[in-house]
Structure 1
Amino acid sequence: MTALLRRTVDLFAMLAGVILLIIVLVTVTNTGAFILDRIAGFFGANVAGLPGYEDFVQLAISGAALMFFPFCQANRGHVAVELFMQQLPKSVQTAADKAWLTLTALVGAFLVYWMVFGMMEARDDGAVTAVLGWPVWPFYAPGIVAMALWALVAVAQLFGDLSDA
């Protein structure tokens, strides 16, 4: 795998981690507002939660979750049946690995293709979030890039050293 692709995958995973951290901070803030609202209720007051909290979390997690796929693939962190595969001859292990890498690359490309159409449809339909009214289509972009990176990592592994991590 090339160093540039590796750095891009690492950067993408770090960005996804930052997004998850922001989601956690927003969730903690919203939970704190809920608790403060319960306490304030005893005094006849109220504390509002964050408007559109659910909209933000839904959009942010939809991209962040997919942004970890390339990193996972690059580190061979996917599910594998090691106990079974270790008993097979090396040639069978290599053939199975190449078959799964090919399938992974095809699935990533398939998802990119259909996610682009989904993004264009969301844009053309003017789909917006329920509370904040944010357009939904831009939030497809991180997922599309992530799926393309996932496919690229699988292709790099397919044509490179199968043991690279």
Structure 2
Amino acid sequence: MNSPANGAHGGPAKGIAPDLERRVGLVVDTLARWLALAGGLVLIALTVMSVISIVGRSLVGVSDFWPLSVMGPVTGDFELVEAGCAFAVFAFLPWCQMRRGHVTVDVFVSALGPRARAALTLAGNILLAVTAVLIAWRLWLGMLDKKAYSETTFILQMPSWWGYAAAMVGAVMFAVVSAYTIWRSLNEMLGDGERA
């Protein structure tokens, strides 16, 4: 049986600190998973809130029965959905990248060997990491701009930068995961090819 330090053929694993890369990968994978779960919980909460708001809108002025007469739409529901969805979208990106879930065109690379596929994946991961860092940087600047001008939402008067800050968590993690996947792909290219 191969140990983590050994390659698929029983020899020493190839690449740049492959043992450390796998240990870092476990930490990054766990963080990305928990962030994606948090994004899912936020979406569930937003869904429940939206249903309550829609039902409340339909019951306004319909009944004099006390429990129904106090029902109404959730104040600022659109603002909450906007901020919550921004967080959720960015919360899912790291998990998708970690699990190789982004769209690929396998028709062109299916004839290539595992190392060649790993080299193409490495190139894609480099481009995605650059994009992730660029997105995080621009999101950071947007957040600072919203904070500097003390911009708030219309109904709840919630500071607009809060939504940006929530999204920043996922954007930074996306950049970290993208950087890690470069290391993973490099080791796969230098080793036995892409792992399952």
TM-score using structure 2 length: 0.75
Separation in structure 2 between the aligned mates of residue 49 and residue 145 of structure 1, nearest angstrom:
30
Matched pairs, number? 162
Identity over aligned pairs, percent: 22
Is residue 48 of structure 2 the alignment partner of residue 21 of structure 1? no
Is residue 35 of structure 2 the alignment partner of residue 4 of structure 1? no
Task: Work out whether residues 157 and 164 of structure 1, in 8 Å CA contact, stay in contact via their aligned partners in 2.
Answer: no
Is residue 83 of structure 2 the alignment partner of residue 83 of structure 1? no
Report the equivalent of 2:74: 50
Report the equivalent of 2:89: 65
- Pick closer, same or farther for the CA change 1:73–1:32 going to 2, 3 Å: same
What is the aligned-residue RMSD (CA, Å)? 2.1
Residue type of the partner of 1:70? P
More helix per residue: 1
Is residue 181 of structure 2 the alignment partner of residue 154 of structure 1? no
Separation in structure 1 between the aligned mates of residue 173 and residue 111 of structure 2, nearest angstrom:
32
Larger Rg: 2
Task: Work out whether residues 136 and 175 of structure 2, in 8 Å CA contact, stay in contact via their aligned partners in 1.
Answer: no
4+ residue stretches of structure 1 with deviation over 3 A? 38-41, 88-92, 161-165
Matched residue SS, 1:40: coil
Gaps of 5+ in 2: 1-21, 189-193
Gaps of 5+ in 1: none
Task: Work out whether residues 40 and 46 of structure 1, in 8 Å CA contact, stay in contact via their aligned partners in 2.
Answer: no
Report the equivalent of 1:118: 142
Separation in structure 1 between the aligned mates of residue 113 and residue 27 of structure 2, nearest angstrom:
33
- Of the three residues 123, 134, 148, the one matched with 1:99 is 123
Task: Work out whether residues 101 and 158 of structure 1, in 8 Å CA contact, stay in contact via their aligned partners in 2.
Answer: yes
Deviations 1:106-153 (A, max 9, x none): 111111111111000000111111100000112212322212211221
Is residue 169 of structure 2 the alignment partner of residue 145 of structure 1? yes
Indicate the larger mover: 20-29 or 82-91: 82-91
